[in-house]
Structure 1
Amino acid sequence: QRKREAAVLAKKIEALEASKQKLLGEELESCSSSELHELEGKIEQSLRSIRARKYHLLKEQIAKLKVKESSLVKENALLHEKCKLLPQIPSAGSKEFPPRSTLGQQTEVETELRIGCPGKGTHGMSSHLYTNQ
């Protein structure tokens, strides 16, 4: 009895292996035209199932991303409003409010200009500028 069951299971395993090989596109030489047509139908059905599942997952992902986008837009609006409420600090380059360190002091600026390719003879020019504030 057990030997017969084992033989039946072995035959089923062999048939499943052969079916698997055919679904993978291997060992198709022995297939008839109708078998190939049936195999093609099974593969097309599998592709439809795979695409449907993929579509469902992408739809869920898009919905989650839209929720996240909405949350970030709200957070951005709140931060924008908070920035409006902060006292305005003049920037370092602002002409209206010069930096305190230069008020009433003499400023020296040194500039240098070099023309030419590096390593070759270059022509240079230096200048000093003194201003009183």
Structure 2
Amino acid sequence: MVRGKVHLKKIQNPVNRRVTFSKRKSGLLKKAKELSVLCDAEIGLFIFSATGKMYESAKPSMNRIIGKYQKISASTGDKLELSDNLELYGTFI
């Protein structure tokens, strides 16, 4: 049995959209954790819902990952713009 192709477009029904977000968010967090464990990778993940609620997952810690990102990007000069709100995470390692 073959699944049909999924067409990516915004889900119009708000209830279905929230349910899909919840399920997909859980799956994404699970996959990030699995990748971290299986491959000994350091992973930081932010997810913002349509209502503005933030979900995060990090292995080993978000402060360490953001600090490492800033250190590496400063040395390469190839820096993505990070929000000024990162001070919420305290002093970076």
Shorter-chain TM-score bucket reads: 0.3 to 0.5
Q: Which has the higher contact order (CA 8 A, sep 6+)?
A: 2
In our comparison, the structure showing a higher alpha carbon Rg is 1
Tell me which protein shows more helix as a share of its residues.
1
TM-score by length of 1: 0.25
